Homo-oligomer: A and B are copies of this chain.
């Protein structure tokens, strides 16, 4: 893996990330393919929207269909027929948010499968082993993500464990992976407490990992607290390594995150609201189910170059949604991902032109206008 920052404006950066399966220009928005599928979309669709890297999830894929099968199929790349880079989350977040009866100790986490109730155990070592088998270009360290809000003791516990586990992940990664082909990123925890964020960063940065993520945000805390936590974290991360804000976000979040030095983003939100018929536009969100679009033969977003906007009208998409036609979910997902990926590219170009803060102000005002007509 190689990473270079190619342009800067304030804390905002444009960069180039070179991974085994291809190049990723940053800032980048990464579509989420939790179960080896970016919901409703095939690899052709992902190329159509300009995706350069997608996510998979260790927790889900370990439980179904199992890492051994995916390894046998040639990793996630072979299994889901996606030839560009893949990043996998470690399961640390999901094991606490999705699995019933999770019991954490200093060695790892024991939990039940939400699918069939069977008992399983993740450790830092097994999380790395699974991600190696999945063939991920970027592996995430196994972390403990505390809920928001949580007690100071619980937060400190999570920060301490996350540091110890990151060290064990690094050791296992060095043992079982080719570090040139598969890069391990550490995850900084610390909730919305700037001091705990600083401590977590201080724990992790000395490990000298190829990249760093900011985890434990966008878990229910107010936006200003998220921004504050971010501002307490990114300045402490290495300048020459990629920074990934996990589980974030919206078009607004991309601007705010990049302004605070973030390079990489992922979130299910754009595809989740798409499946509900809500589209991102430069002017805010367009709710296709609204009666006002019943006879609106204009493209979903005028000027958008995605397949959906080039081909279909608001009235057609609304009709499909109203009739429960599954095609609508795909066409809306396609638009929203195209929208996020195109926005990340626009932000990148703004930084290259030294116009980032100017554009940020103008574009956030447009988004707030909600003038989707």
Contact = CB atoms under 8 A, between A and B. Distances in A.
Contacts of A81: 311-312, 316
Given A81-B311, A295-B69, A316-B79, A40 B326 contact: yes
Contact of A35 (B42, B60, B315, B323): B323
Given A65-B319, A322-B64, A327 B72 contact: no
A113 to B, nearest CB: 13
A41 interface: yes
Copies in the complex: 2
Contacts of A44: 307
Contacts of A40: 326-327, 330
A43 interface: yes
A325 interface: yes
A327 B79 contact: no
Interface residues of A, number: 38
Interface string A278-295: 000000000000000011
A40 to B, nearest CB: 5
Nearest to A79: B316
A36 interface: yes
A62 to B, nearest CB: 13
Contacts of A297: 72-73
A331 interface: yes
A37 interface: yes
A42 to B, nearest CB: 6
B331 A329 contact: no
5 contacts: A35-B323, A64-B319, A65-B315, A65-B322, A72-B295
A304 interface: no
A313 interface: yes
Interface in A308-347: 311-313, 315-316, 318-320, 322-323, 325-327, 329-331
A39 interface: yes
A367 interface: no
B37 A73 contact: no
A285 to B, nearest CB: 22
B319 A39 contact: no
Contacts of A42: 307, 311, 327, 330-331
B37 A325 contact: yes
Given A37-B320, A72-B295, A81-B316, 5 more contacts: A35-B320, A42-B311, A42-B327, A60-B323, A73-B315
A65 B318 CA distance: 9
A104 interface: no
A4 interface: no
A324 to B, nearest CB: 9
A-B pairs, 7 with minimum CB distance: A65-B319, A37-B325, A35-B323, A81-B311, A40-B326, A37-B327, A69-B295
Contacts of A35: 319-320, 323, 325
Contact of A69 (B39, B60, B311, B315): B315
Nearest to A334: B42
A205 interface: no
A273 to B, nearest CB: 16
A294 B327 contact: no
A316 B329 CA distance: 21
A65 B320 CA distance: 9
